Structure 1
């Protein structure tokens, strides 16, 4: 005889505890400070959602986010952080230097 729990596990997949992560778990996964994860979530720079006022993260969404941020064209170096913003556009500091040169 099959129990209700066995049927649930068969059709629902693994327990949600493994699929939904907290800030400390994401911080450990990314090897960054918890405050960094919190800030990324607040800014919408990392996939996250709130439950009862607390941030939660889907393990699969975080893995996809990690994978998308690990892609760099072969043979090219990452741009210098001082010369570009997170979107790859020139930083405000570099734009100001360029403008002064052209005046």
Structure 2
């Protein structure tokens, strides 16, 4: 996003956002002589600013279940037979 799009997204003036970007208060980078912003980085930054732990959101995603192990029908552990 450019500075105008990002300022609309954040609900602040472009002048304020320019100041925040130049002070490295918000995540931004310069492409040539223009400031650019990634929406995903701004979302993460807003979560951190509002006190929402990022780990909680990641933990909410359920891990994939492993496939069940098929039984071999044996009840005793396998033992190695020594050959001579």
TM-score (norm: length of structure 1) = 0.48
The secondary structure found in structure 1 opposite 2:44 is helix
Task: Tell me, yes or no, if structure 1 residue 28 matches structure 2 residue 8.
Answer: yes
Do structure 1's residue 51 and structure 2's residue 28 form an aligned pair? Answer: no
- Residue deviations 1:41-90 (CA, integer Å, cap 9, x gap): 00010000000110001111011001111117xxxxxxxxxxxxxxxxxx
CA distance in 2, matches of 1:68, 1:30: 14
The ranges of structure 1 where at least 4 consecutive aligned residues each deviate by more than 4 angstroms after the TM superposition are: none
Q: Helix, strand or coil for the counterpart of 1:47?
A: coil
**How many equivalent residue pairs?**
52
CA distance in 1, matches of 2:39, 2:11: 15
Q: Within 2, Cα distance between the matches of 1:61 and 1:47?
A: 6
SS in 2 for 1:55: strand
Provide the residue aligned with 2:45 in structure 1.
65
Unpaired runs of 5+ residues, structure 1, are 1-20, 73-103
Higher helix share: 1
